[in-house]
Amino acid sequence: MLDKIEIALLSALENDARLSFAELGDKVGLSKTPCWSRVRDLEKRGIINGYRAELDPAAIGLNIHAFVQVTLESAKHVEFEAVVQRHPSIVRCFATAGDGDYLLQVLVSTIADLDRLLRVEISRLPGVDRISTTVCVKTVKHRTSIIDCMR
């Protein structure tokens, strides 16, 4: 599925997406031509989804980071997901098996913002029965490369 060179390419690009193909080639032991074509191939196969600048939330004033477990009372999944998609403070949303139907990851500036988000924006969403919030007090680990999970 993935050979050693592809894994090396992915690992390098997960650490620094702005590497030039010459630098990339040095890291994986390839000249820039095959290096370029293999990266292009990884993009076409949907393995590389894009290249993103990683920002520090706290550095731009997003000091509150929380997880919200949502339980729906009724089959309002479509409406609920639509609202979630368009809400700017909801960074991620996962449908889950276990307690709760959804897990939301939210990012806001102040506790007042969090309060408003939870009590007036999420709780009143169509079909929401119960929410349970967990505030993140420290980021212990933030792995930048998921390719290491494969070993």
Give the residues lining the site for a second copy (CB under 8 A): 1-2, 10, 13-18, 45-57, 59-62, 65, 67, 69, 81, 84-85, 88-100, 102-103, 107-109, 132-151
Contact in structure between 134 and 67 (CB atoms under 8 Å): yes
Cβ atoms within 10 Å, residue 16: 11
Residue tagged 């290249």 (tokens):
51
Residues 16-55 that bind DNA (CB under 7 A): 19-23, 29-34, 36-38, 40
- Give whichever of 4 and 144 is closer to a second copy, judged by the CB atom: 144
- Least spacing, CB of residue 116 vs a second copy, in Å: 14
Cβ atoms within 10 Å, residue 107: 20
Closest CA to 90 of 108, 64, 71: 108
From DNA, a second copy, none, interface partner of 127 (C-beta below 5 to 8 A by class): none
- Least spacing, CB of residue 28 vs a second copy, in Å: 14
- Give the span between the Cα atoms of 79 and 65, in whole angstroms: 25
Contact in structure between 11 and 147 (CB atoms under 8 Å): yes
- Least spacing, CB of residue 33 vs a second copy, in Å: 18
Q: Which residues of this chain interact with DNA, rule CB under 7 A? A: 5, 19-23, 29-34, 36-38, 40
